[in-house]
Amino acid sequence: MTPILSLHNIDVAEFLAILDTCEGNVFLVTNEGDRLNLKSKLCQIVGLTKLIEGGKIAEASIICENKNDESKLFRFNFFGDTADAEINN
């Protein structure tokens, strides 16, 4: 699997809410080649802690196993579409 998109300057709370609606595994791939399964809350904490700058994600690559999840994250990344995600700010 190759990274399907790079995330830039996104709202962390919205991103985590979108992840909760994903059906399959979603991986965060670091520049060092680490792959963290973002369906795991522990991996979310570990992975996002390294990437957060001022409450926004600076840059990250994402790989999805499910095509619907890929589409959902693509729409969120480019259009800010949170679809059916429940956002807790």
CATH of the domain at 61: 3.30.1340.10
With respect to residue 88, please indicate whether it lies within any of the assigned structural domains.
no
Residues 6+ apart with CB under 8 A from 16: 44, 48
With respect to residue 57, please indicate whether it lies within any of the assigned structural domains.
yes
With respect to residue 28, please indicate whether it lies within any of the assigned structural domains.
yes
pLDDT for the residue numbered 27:
93
pLDDT per residue over 11-56, tens digit each? 888 888 999 999 999 998 877 777 889 999 998 888 777 676 666 6
With respect to residue 46, please indicate whether it lies within any of the assigned structural domains.
yes
pLDDT for the residue numbered 65:
92
Alpha carbon distance 88, 64 (integer Å)? 24
Domain containing 46: what range? 5-79
Q: Give the best-scoring range by mean pLDDT among 4-8, 19-23, 81-85.
A: 19-23
With respect to residue 48, please indicate whether it lies within any of the assigned structural domains.
yes
Provide the number of structural domains found in the chain: 1
Q: How confident is the model at residue 4 (pLDDT cuts 50, 70, 90)?
A: low
pLDDT for the residue numbered 59:
64
